[in-house]
Amino acid sequence: MTRFTACTALVMLGFASTVSAHAASPLAIAVALENFKNAKIVPDVVPTFNPSGLMTLNFTTGVGRPDIGQLVSRSNVSDTPLLMIRGSEAAEAQTSGPFNVTTIRYTVLCIDGNTAGSSNPGGYNLHYLENNLAYGENHDHTVTLNSTGSPVVAYAAPNPPSGSGPHRYIWLTYAQPEGFNAPSTPAAGSGVALFNLTQYTTAANLSDPIVGTYFTVQEGSANASVASTTAVDSTTLPQYTATATASTNSTGDQGHSNAAMTSVAWVPGALALMGAAVGALLTL
């Protein structure tokens, strides 16, 4: 029995560290939100956005995993990316929350948000839309959203008009409600077309997006003035701490695997488990 207790404690210790490595830090989530605000995505494109995690794109044959807001060449984002999401520790702990791996399905879309400060009363060009994506964890603790069918609108690579300035390609993930029925518009197999985000999410009964990201693409020099944006200074955010800074500066909070990332959230419990395990082993 003593040997079993010790082994169990060590297994639980390993599980605790894995969960910690997987979760998105509060500071990284706050930085993502501030980027959306500074780029005028909130509230111009997305009226309300209170993310409970992070979203990362992985263009495996191109740019890889672009940072949020990164300027990229369209040739480096031409192929359909892998979609990766992570919730905060609190969000992933909710049994009926948006990161429940067994019950929740997701809708993901990408729109060309045009340039910061632009007026788009007719909507935004839709570059990708898929419903009923499933949540799956990989061996390296990254999490991808996997297709269970076919996309409504297959991914279309960015193609901003030359001289129009830096276009924001905005990706949003929504947790689908129970009994979700996809709207009939746009029809399956549609191509790039104007899309009204508010009308669609209302018709689909989708709440606010749970995670999101964006990158920018520009062709040629801008021929018109574009609203200025500012970089995010994480040290000015309430979530800033020395520990959180280390987490944010790691590759993990840019969406990369962060299995070795340290988080104080699990340390007390983990140390207690380690002590119990060591004590039990000494009695063998």
Distances (CA, A) of 180 to 40, 105, 166, 183, 184: 30, 9, 35, 9, 12
- Domain boundaries, given as residue ranges, for the chain: 1-23+264-284, 28-262
CA-CA-CA-CA torsion for 60, 66, 68, 70, nearest 10 degrees? -140
Question: Please, what is the average pLDDT of the chain?
Answer: 81
**Mean pLDDT across 147-169:** 96
Percent above pLDDT 90 for the chain: 61
Which of 53-57, 204-208, 250-254 shows the lowest per-residue confidence on average (mean pLDDT)? 250-254
Q: Where are the alpha helices (DSSP H) in 53-194?
A: 89-93
Domain 28-262: homologous superfamily in CATH = PEBP-like (3.90.280.10)
Of 9-23, 65-79, 161-175, where does mean pLDDT reach its minimum? 9-23
pLDDT at 146 over 50: yes
Confidence check: pLDDT of 276 > 80: no
pLDDT at 155: 98
Higher-confidence residue of 61 and 109: namely 109
Q: What is the mean pLDDT of residues 223-251?
A: 68
Q: Which of 101-115, 198-212, 216-230 has the lowest mean pLDDT?
A: 216-230
More confident call, 241 vs 164? 164
**pLDDT score, position 246:** 52
Question: Given this model, what pLDDT does residue 142 score?
Answer: 67
Which tops the pLDDT comparison, 198 or 102? 198
DSSP for 20-61, please give it: HHHSBPHHHHHHHHHHHHHTT-TTTT-S----SEEEEEEBTT
In this predicted structure, the answer to whether residue 4 has a pLDDT above a threshold of 60 is no
pLDDT at position 1: 47
CA distance 135 to 132: 10
| pLDDT value at 186 more than 80 | yes
Contacts (Cβ under 8 Å, ≥6 apart) of 22: 86, 92, 137, 141, 143
Contact 99, 54 (CB under 8 A): no
